[in-house]
Structure 1
Amino acid sequence: MTLPMLDPDLLRAFLAVADHRSFTRAANRLNRTQSAVSMQIRRLEMRVAAELFRRNTTTVELTVAGESLVTYARRILALNEEAVGKLREHRLEGRVRLGVMDDYGSHVLPAVLARFLALYPRIHVEMETGLTGPMLSRIGESYELVIAMHGEGCESGELLRFERPIWAGSAEHRAWLLDPLPVALYPPGCLFRKWAIEGLDAAERPWRLAFVSHNLATVEAIATQGLAVTVVKSSFLPRSLRGLSPRDRLPALPGAEIRLHVAPDPTRAGIMLADHLREAFAAMPDEPAVNL
Structure 2
Amino acid sequence: MAAPLDLDLLRTFVAVVESGSLSAAAPRVGRSQSAVSMQMQRLEQAVGKQLLIRNPRSVEPNLAGESFLNYARRLLRLSDEAWANVTRPEETGSVRLGVPDDYAAFLLPPILSRFAADHPLVTVELVCEQSTSLVKAIEDNRVDLAIVTRVQKQPLEIIRRERFVWVASPTHVTWENDPLPIALFEPGCAGRTHVLQALGDADRSYRCTYSSASLLGLIAVVQAGLAVAGLAACSVPSSLRIVGENEGLPPLHDLEVGVMRNPNSTDAAVNRLDDFLRRNLAQIV
TM-score by length of 2: 0.66
CA apart distance, 1:186: 1.3
Amino acid at match of 1:222: V
CA deviations on 1:140-190 (whole Å, 9 max, x unpaired) are 6122111111258x6733322112212111111111112232211211121
1:157–1:262 contact (8 Å) kept in structure 2: no
CA distance in structure 2 between the partners assigned to 1:131 and 1:81 by the alignment: 35
1:1-292 equivalences under 5 Å are 64=35, 68=39, 83=83, 86-90=86-90, 92-139=91-138, 141-150=141-150, 156-265=155-264, 266-285=266-285
Question: Structure 2: where are the runs of 5+ without partners?
Answer: 1-25, 40-74
CA distance in structure 2 between the partners assigned to 1:128 and 1:249 by the alignment: 37
CA distance in structure 2 between the partners assigned to 1:134 and 1:159 by the alignment: 19
CA distance in structure 2 between the partners assigned to 1:79 and 1:198 by the alignment: 49
CA distance in structure 1 between the partners assigned to 2:36 and 2:177 by the alignment: 82
Q: Which moved more, 1:179-188 or 1:195-204?
A: 195-204
CA apart distance, 1:107: 0.8
1:151–1:255 contact (8 Å) kept in structure 2: no
CA distance in structure 1 between the partners assigned to 2:84 and 2:163 by the alignment: 42
CA distance in structure 1 between the partners assigned to 2:166 and 2:81 by the alignment: 51
Q: Which moved more, 1:99-108 or 1:198-207?
A: 198-207
CA apart distance, 1:62: 8.1
The RMSD of aligned alpha carbons is: 3.4
CA apart distance, 1:208: 1.9
SS at match of 2:220: helix
CA apart distance, 1:110: 2.0
- Aligned pair in 2 of structure 1 residues 81, 217: CA closer, same or farther (>3 Å)? closer
Aligned residues: 223
CA apart distance, 1:105: 0.4
1:131–1:189 contact (8 Å) kept in structure 2: no
SS at match of 2:114: helix
CA apart distance, 1:125: 0.9
CA apart distance, 1:244: 2.4
CA apart distance, 1:81: 9.8
CA distance in structure 2 between the partners assigned to 1:196 and 1:81 by the alignment: 43
CA apart distance, 1:66: 11
- Aligned pair in 2 of structure 1 residues 129, 66: CA closer, same or farther (>3 Å)? same
CA distance in structure 1 between the partners assigned to 2:151 and 2:246 by the alignment: 24
TM-score by length of 1: 0.64
CA apart distance, 1:277: 1.3
Larger gyration radius, structure 1 or structure 2: 1
Q: Percent identity?
A: 31
SS at match of 2:250: coil
